[in-house]
A and B are shown apart, each in its own frame.
Chain A
Amino acid sequence: NAGVTQTPKFQVLKTGQSMTLQCAQDMNHNSMYWYRQDPGMGLRLIYYSASEGTTDKGEVPNGYNVSRLNKREFSLRLESAAPSQTSVYFCASSDRSRQETQYFGPGTRLLVL
């Protein structure tokens, strides 16, 4: 049981390039989330998916898109990366029976030059 996994672990992009961050969970959780964490700050919610087939904006959605591919996978896409998107990105998931507790992946460290 790997929990929440994220790929890649680290990525360097040039301004304007695109990329997709992958997230998968093997806990059969209904809800999934994408956060970003900037130095010295807490996590800010980008997008979430309450259940398979639905996605909604969080606090900082601009510049991002998401896809809930199936119950296990939730991807985050940067269409045209900007230096302001340099951050650490965390994916999380939660189960309907214990919805308040989110379990986090190890993170993807993104540097946009």
Chain B
Amino acid sequence: GESVGLHLPTLSVQEGDNSIINCAYSNSASDYFIWYKQESGKGPQFIIDIRSNMDKRQGQRVTVLLNKTVKHLSLQIAATQPGDSAVYFCAPGQGNSGYSTLTFGKGTMLLVSP
């Protein structure tokens, strides 16, 4: 089965710094990768996704980099804010005729101090 690991279980940064959250995956057949943010007591919230045929994708204050050679991706958050404090999950997935199969790792907790 899919194995998804995170290099840093907890990441502490200062407000205004840039944050980088890393994720390693094992299934080279993954079609896409999704980053979710989960605040305490809430459900996971979609942040950004990247397909396997891309190596970079940018959103608002976030950038995803994908390195398929080493099966690694990262989520970069620019100018981190206290509201960014949450657990972040990367979820590799595969498309299956109209529905998706996602694999979630344990997540990385991002702590932003003012």
Query: Measuring CB to CB, which residues of chain A are less than 8 angstroms from any residue of chain B?
Result: 4, 30-31, 40-45, 48, 50-51, 59, 90, 92, 94, 96, 99-107
Q: Is B98 an interface residue (CB 8 A)?
A: yes
Q: Mark B5-44, 1 if CB is under 8 A from A, else 0.
A: 0000000000000000000000000011010100001111
Q: Which residues of B contact A31 (CB under 8 A)?
A: 98-100
Most chain A C-beta atoms within 10 Å of own C-beta, residue among B45, B46, B99:
B99
Known: A100-B31, A100-B49, A101-B49. A94 touches B107 (CB 8 A): no
Q: Which residues of A contact B44 (CB under 8 A)?
A: 43, 90, 104
A94 touches B100 (CB 8 A): yes
Q: Which residue of B lies closest to A9 (CB)?
A: B41
Q: Which residues of B contact A96 (CB under 8 A)?
A: 98-99
Q: Is B60 an interface residue (CB 8 A)?
A: no
Q: Which residues of B contact A43 (CB under 8 A)?
A: 44, 89, 104
Q: Majority SS of interface residues in chain B?
A: strand
Query: Measuring CB to CB, which residues of chain B are less than 8 angstroms from any residue of chain A?
Result: 1, 4, 31-32, 34, 36, 41-46, 49, 89, 93, 95-102, 104-107
Known: A100-B34, A106-B43. A50 touches B104 (CB 8 A): no
B46 touches A101 (CB 8 A): yes
Known: A42-B104, A42-B105, A94-B99. A100 touches B93 (CB 8 A): yes
B57 to chain A, nearest CB (A): 13
A51 to B96, CA, bound (A): 12
Q: Which residues of B contact A106 (CB under 8 A)?
A: 42-43
